Amino acid sequence: MQYELIEENKYTVLQINEDRFDAKLAPSFRNEIDLVKGNIAEHLVLDLGQVRFMDSSGLGAVMGVYKLLRNTKISIVNPQKSVQELLKLTRIDKLILSHATIEDATSSK
Amino acid sequence: MPVLKGFNRIYPSSLNTSREVSADIIPFWHELELAEELICQMELCLVEIVNNVFEHSYHSVEGDKLEIESYCEQGNPTLVVKVSDYGTAMPLDLLDDKLTEEFVVPDPEDPETWTVSNRGLRILQELTDKTEYISEIGRNTLTFFRHTQPESGLDK
């Protein structure tokens, strides 16, 4: 999985540099999270701006991280329309909030 | 019902098959002049079914045969997508149950609601107008239908 991890004081940005977040990518996403989970701050910001397509496996991987990092706030930033619609359709938008920018995500309560 | 041009290809099963199918079928759907939003939704439905076949019908075994067919019926324009496999058939009641369930609204206080199974089939229920599943003589075919014109009242 192509990604960039940006560590700040109070938050960590995980930028997914992939076109598709699907069943093929999900296992490597889980593996990478396992490797970096010790470095994740109190707020994990998932930057999905480059993800054009997400399926239920990708969504399941995100929910797996939500479960794994139970004491960590998780936000999504910059989702493309298809990803926004998937989050809305599956009601996950009620649990993990999306924001237009990292600044919006990190300044929200 | 008259049918416009069609798409019919066979793929070997793998975790990558849904990507290959998407790359092949999206240009075909563009040729049918389907709306971009509809194409995105149908791509999601098709990917869910192809991955379901790999995982459940073929138990994640690579190289088994999977056939994809798609065409558009004229008259009351409807996109038809069929996914066929020769693996383990899906229990018929599972599909019926999942296609009538609502999505569980995740509750921050209830971890049981965070990760649920068969989310893909519920996505299919939400984004298509009709779904059929037939298993006979060792061949399983899941077909989904979606009207292609939003004014038909199916503006999902």
Domain assignment of residue B156, yes or no: no
Check pLDDT > 80 for residue B14.
yes
pLDDT greater at residue B49 or residue A68: B49
Q: Give the model confidence (pLDDT) of B100-156 as tens digits.
A: 666 667 777 777 776 666 788 889 989 999 999 999 999 999 999 999 986 544 444
**Residues above pLDDT 70, as percent of chain A:** 99
**Inside any domain, residue B115:** yes
Query: What pLDDT is attached to residue B4?
Result: 60
> Within 13 Å of residue A88, how many CA atoms lie on the same side as its CB?
9
What topology does CATH give the domain A3-107? Transcription Regulator spoIIAA (3.30.750)
CATH number at residue B141: 3.30.565.10
CA distance A24 to chain B (A): 6
Pairing of strands A73-77, A43-47: parallel
Is B63 part of any domain?
A: yes
Q: Which domain holds residue B114?
A: 3-151
Please tell me the total count of domains within chain B. 1
> Chain A residue closest to B126 (CA)?
A89
Cβ neighbours of A86 in B, within 8 Å: 44, 123
Instruction: Say what the ipTM of the complex is.
Output: 0.91
* Separation in Å, CA of B104 to nearest CA in chain A: 7
Q: Which residues of A touch B123 (CB under 8 A)?
A: 56, 86, 89-90
Q: What is the reported pTM?
A: 0.90
Say if B106 falls within a structural domain. Answer: yes
List of long-range contacts for A98-105, beta carbons under 8 Å, 24+ apart: A99/A75, A101/A77, A102/A13, A102/A45, A102/A47, A102/A77, A104/A77, A105/A11, A105/A43, A105/A45, A105/A75, A105/A76, A105/A77
Residues of B in contact with A72 (CB under 8 A): none
* In chain A, where the domains are located: 3-107
